[in-house]
Amino acid sequence: MGQVGWKALCLSLFDYKTEKYVVAKNKKVGLLYRLLQLCVLLYLLVWVFLVKKSYQDTDTSLQSAVVTKVKGVAYTNTSELGERLWDVADYVIPSQGENVFFVITNLIVTANQRQGTCAEHQGVPDGACSQDSDCHAGESVAAGNGVKTGRCLRAGNSTRGTCEIFAWCPVETQPRPTEPLLKEAEDFTIYIKNFIRFPKFNFSKANVLENKDFLKSCRFSPKNLYCPIFRLGSVVRWAGSSFQDIAVEGGVIAIHIEWNCDLDKAPAECKPHYYFNRLDNNQAKSVSSGYNFRFARYYRDSAGVEFRNLMKAYGIRFDVIVNGKAGKFSIIPTIINVGSGVALMGAGAFFCDLVLIYIIKKREFYRDKKYEEVRSCGGTRGREDSTLTAEAEMMEPGQPEELLEEQPQARSSSGHWKGNGGVCPQFLQTTRTGILENVKGRGEQLQTLQTVET
């Protein structure tokens, strides 16, 4: 970069840019601008303020407590347990209701287990053997039921057998039943009481009406949101599952309680909304589908020897998930969102400017009108004289002198001259007088030539 370039760069640091408003009489660009304004306005009114309610201050730190109870009885008669009546204390785990609880619907019972030695189950790969050396004494069976004693037990003349183990014997061997043990569980009822509080607004509420007579007879429905008593079979159906399938293999169901409260309205308008879905993988029959676990109940015989009944329980685990938010009018988010809308209006004008000066056919004309370079008065007299002289030469000799009066200058209300571009007002009068005389002289010469030709 030469000396002239560096000088121009240094001088450009002292340039000042100011806005100039140009009214473009272009209907297409004007229509585009109004459409953009309308879109921004609809976005603010409909989406920001009506749908999202962004004029409100929100509180998402929901404080919640859940109390659950299950009611219902079932009768069974099996070879392992005999006749038995099942009530809440038998089939609900844990017994004290929380936001996660389990209801037994199917059961495999291995009764009267005592600690001793017996053969490992044949379906355990680590328990298979062909000779005693395959069973290392003191080694626990991986995914099995006990500890190896060092003996390989074979039935008859078979070459393959299973390792002898020290465990609770006999080990569990029964297959899973194809029918649910507690078929009556479909008619059990679940009572879910939920307390919530939004600490920012000090607002509290519950999902139940404190009316005992109402609770004794009501059942939940979409039209009865303040009755928190659900039929178990209905919950399974609302979650998109069949009770027969889930009762045999077990599963996990989520009960969602949503609290979306507009505190600008009456407190009665803050209502709970319920959603149900199944969480375990029930789309494909795999190891991960279903839900089960084992537990035991211990006893002592007349001789004081301990024994137990091992139970593998299949059933439905319910997860009560509570979330929500509360909103209330606040001037701060209102101002922020209105300011964002004003900024979007400016973005619309910027887009229209790009269309006006870079895309349409007359872009060069509008670009020249929008961007104007103004220089100081001292160095522009010669240029303005030449400009006005060129304009005068372009006039026809017979044109009236009033056309020259349509130059871009006028008097303001205060009596001062206003110029356009780089024209210095103090030179305009002198330059105009010279141009008028030049035009008159050209006109007289033309008249003389016409006389001579005549």
Which residues face 104 on adjacent strands?
A: 315
* Bridging pattern class, strands 161-169 and 203-206: unpaired
- What the block records as the tokens of 323 is 């979330």
Architecture of domain 63-120+171-328: Sandwich (2.60)
The residue that leads in pLDDT, 380 or 242, is 242
What percentage of the chain carries pLDDT values higher than 90?
Answer: 45
pLDDT tops 50 at residue 93:
yes
Residue with tokens 């004494």: 137
The string of DSSP letters for 320-360 reads EEEEEEEEEE-HHHHHHHHHHHHHHHHHHHHHHHHIIIIIS
Average pLDDT of span 137-147: 91
Averaged pLDDT of the chain:
82
353-396: per-residue pLDDT in tens? 888 888 888 888 888 787 777 665 554 444 445 444 444 444 44
* Bridging pattern class, strands 306-329 and 100-119: antiparallel
Average pLDDT of span 58-71: 92
- What the block records as the tokens of 358 is 């870079």
Which of 105-109, 304-308, 367-371, 383-387 has the weakest average pLDDT? 383-387
Q: Give the separation between CA 257 and CA 250, rounded to whole angstroms.
A: 23
DSSP conformational letter for 201: T
Is 394 buried (19+), middle (13-18) or exposed (0-12) by CB count in 10 A?
exposed
175-230: per-residue pLDDT in tens? 878 889 999 999 999 999 999 999 999 999 999 887 777 888 888 987 888 899 99
Domain 30-55+330-371 top-level CATH class: mainly alpha
* Residue range(s) of every CATH 1.10.287 domain in the chain: 30-55+330-371
* Residue range(s) of every CATH 2.60.490.10 domain in the chain: 63-120+171-328
What percentage of the chain carries pLDDT values higher than 70?
Answer: 80
Q: Give the separation between CA 164 and CA 129, rounded to whole angstroms.
A: 10
Sign of the dihedral through C-alpha 368, 374, 380, 384: positive
Which of 112-116, 193-197, 437-441 has the weakest average pLDDT? 437-441
pLDDT band of residue 115 (cuts 50, 70, 90) is very high
